[in-house]
């Protein structure tokens, strides 16, 4: 698995879990979904993402022609 695919998996899981927790537990969990969206926008402009840096340190390969 590449870094790009792992990021898609992690973000997808965080969004799904936070939405389910927001529906069934407390609406405050929707803040996690909003913060994840804000972080994705920030990362698209700056290129800085702590999860990517962590995955690189773990040795996951990167695929430059992701698509």
Query: CA 23, 25, 26, 29 torsion: positive or negative?
Result: negative
The number of domains in the chain is 1
User: Cα(29)–Cα(41) distance, rounded to whole angstroms?
Assistant: 19
State pTM to two decimals: 0.81
Domain range for residue 51?
3-57
Q: What is the pLDDT of residues 52-63, one digit of tens each?
A: 899 999 999 987
Q: Does a structural domain hold residue 20?
A: yes
Q: Does a structural domain hold residue 67?
A: no
Q: Where are the alpha helices (DSSP H) in the chain?
A: 3-24, 30-46, 50-57
Q: What is the pLDDT of residues 4-40, one digit of tens each?
A: 899 999 999 999 999 999 999 999 999 999 999 999 9
């Amino acid at each position: 698995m590449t870094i790009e695919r792992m990021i898609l998996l992690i973000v997808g899981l965080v969004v799904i879990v936070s939405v389910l927790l927001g529906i069934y537990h407390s609406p405050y969990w929707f803040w996690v979904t909003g913060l994840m969206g804000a972080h994705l926008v920030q990362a698209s402009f700056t290129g800085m993402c702590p999860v990517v840096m962590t995955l690189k340190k773990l040795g996951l390969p990167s695929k430059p022609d992701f698509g």
